[in-house]
A and B are shown apart, each in its own frame.
Chain A
Amino acid sequence: MKLGVLFSGGKDSVYAAYLAKKNKHELSCLISIHSENKGSYMFHTPNISKTKKQSEVMNIPLIIQKTSGEKEIELKDLEEAISKAKLKYKIQGVVTGAIQSVYQSTRIQKICDKLGLECFNPLWQIDEEEYLKMLIKDKFKTILVGVFAYPFDEFWLGKEINSKFLKEIKLFNEKYQIHVAGEGGEFETFVLDCPLFSNSLKIKNKKILKEGENSFRMEVEL
C-alpha cells in the first residue's frame, strides 16, 4: 500500500516508517507539520526543519505544512497536508509513530476516516523498554535534542540512545517516573542514521537553548 508518513524526524515516526517498509508497504511521502506552538499536543517541534535532510537521505519526497499550532487550526492544517499527500502521491494510508497518546491518535484516525485512508500506528501501546531495545538492535542512531523534565540538564543533549542510555533512563524511571521512551514529553529525539537512510547525517554545528529550569533544546546544523 502507498503510505504517507506523519514525520517529525524523531525516533517514533522514523521507526514507524521503518516497520511499514519492513512489512512491504511503499513509503510514498513524508508529511511534516511545522508548528509555531512549542507546547503543541499534536506535533513535536525541535529540529523539524531538519526533516528535509532526512527526506533526502531516505529518497522520499517531503510535504511541509506550517501551522500556528492553535488547537483546532493545527488539525485543519494536518488534514490539508494529508489531503495534499493523497492528491499528489496517491497515498492510500497514513503511518504514525503514536505510542500512548489517545489525544493524537483519535484525531489522526478521524482525519484518515474523513479522507478515506487507512491509518497505521505500529508502535501503539508498545512496551517502552522493548521498543528502545528494538531501536538499538535495528541500528538506529538516535540522539536527544530536547529535555524538558527534572532531573535532566543540558549535558543530556546529544546523548545517543544505546544500551548505556537504556540503563540510565530505567533508573530515572524508577526514581523520577520519567517515561523510558519519553512519551510524557520528558525528552525529544532526532534520528541521524537508520536502515532507511542512504547515508548517516553528521552534525556540523549545534546551539543549546535554555528554556526553563530543566528544559533545554539543541538546535543542530547538518
Chain B
Amino acid sequence: MILLISMCSDKLHELEFVKPIENVVGKCLVRHYKNFTLKDIEKADKVIISGTSLKDDFFLKELERFNWIRDYAKPVLGICAGMQIISLIFRGKLRKKKEIGYYRENFVKEFLSLKDEHEVYHLHNNYVSLPKDFIKFTDSKIPQAIKHNSKNIYGVLFHPEVRNSKLIEEFLNLV
C-alpha cells in the first residue's frame, strides 16, 4: 500500500497537487500531513509526500511531524514541498529561489527514468541546500533531484505529475 501525504493547507488545492499524483499511483491511502499516524507509516510499503501552492509554506512550521523519515527504511519520494521537508529533516538549509513554469534540467545520472535533458514543471519559492549523505542528479546550481546515499529516499523540486509521470511510476516499481 502506498501512503500519499497531502501538504496542502487548503482542501481545494488537493485537487491540483494531490489528485494528479493519486491518478498516477492508483489505489492508495491519502492522508493530510496533520492527520497521518505512525501506524499509517509503518503499514505503508512506500510513501509519497506531495507539493502545495506557491503561497502555502505553513508546513515549514511543522517539520517535527516528519522526523520519522530519518530512520525510515522503506522508499520515500518527496515532491517540491515534500523534497524540501526531506532535505530539512536531514539538515539542509532553506534558501530563496523562485521558479515558475517549464525549465530544462540536465540529468547527469539516470534518476527514476529521467536522464539527459528534460523539461520539468517548477512551482516553488524556496529550495533546500543538498544535505550531507545525499547526492544530486542534475548539473544545476540548486538541487533539483536528489537521493540518499544508502536509502531509497528521493526528492524532486519540480512536479513530475505534470508531464513526467513516468518518474512516479518508476518510483512505484522500486523493489
Q: Which residues of A contact B (CB under 8 A)?
A: 1, 19-20, 23-25, 95, 102, 106, 109-110, 112-113, 118-127
Contact = CB atoms under 8 A, between A and B. Distances in A.
B15 A113 contact: no
Contact of B20 (A25, A95, A110, A125): A125
Interface in B101-157: 101-102, 121, 123
Contacts of A119: 53-55
Contacts of B20: 124-126
Interface of B is mostly: mixed
B98 interface: yes
B15 A123 contact: yes
A119 B101 CA distance: 14
B123 A124 contact: no
A106 B100 contact: yes
A46 B56 CA distance: 35
A19 B55 CA distance: 20
A132 to B, nearest CB: 15
A108 to B, nearest CB: 10
Nearest to B11: A23
Contact of B16 (A1, A102, A110, A121): A121
Interface in B1-18: 10-13, 15-16
Interface string B159-173: 001110000000000
Contacts, number: 59
Nearest to B55: A118
A125 B15 CA distance: 9
B98 A120 contact: no
B104 to A, nearest CB: 13
Nearest to A117: B55
B23 interface: yes
A118 B53 contact: yes
A125 B12 contact: no
Contacts of B121: 102
Contacts of B102: 102, 106
B12 A120 contact: yes
A19 B12 CA distance: 8
Given A113-B54, A125-B23, A1 B101 contact: no
Interface in B85-105: 98, 100-102
A28 to B, nearest CB: 15
A109 B51 CA distance: 15
From A20, A25, A95, A120, name the one whose CB has the most chain B CB atoms within 10 angstroms.
Answer: A120
A110 B100 contact: yes
Contacts of B13: 120
